[in-house]
Amino acid sequence: MGSALEEGLRAAEQYTEAGARADGATRVESVQIQRVDSTDRLNAVTAYVCVDVSEVDVVDSSGRSLVSPDRDPRVLFLVTAGFDADVLKISKRSVWADQC
């Protein structure tokens, strides 16, 4: 299991334990390929991905927003993905910058 999946599962578990949920959708604003490793068996691709989270709200069990009003509406991630059985799978994702 890649670190991106592990982190996602951990975050989902924390949300569930806290009675929180996310509402809304994220949108990919742009993708800029940083590196392609064709020598890797998965043909790993590393890219900067700008994600718009302005329509996403995280709320507690009473419906109160847990999102800071100062949150940046866009986040730049550094993402690494590779092909596994002809399916592109994200193996790593980390915040690269608060804005993009």
| φ, ψ at 31 (rounded to 5°) | -135, 130
% of the chain exceeding 90 in pLDDT: 53
- Which is higher by pLDDT, 40 or 74? 74
- What is the pLDDT averaged over residues 47-72? 94
Distance CA(96)–CA(30), nearest Å, equals 14
Boundaries of every domain in the chain: 3-97
Q: What is the pTM of this model?
A: 0.78
The amino acid at residue 17 is E
| Span 72-90, pLDDT tens digits | 999 999 999 988 888 888 8
- What is the pLDDT averaged over residues 17-36? 93
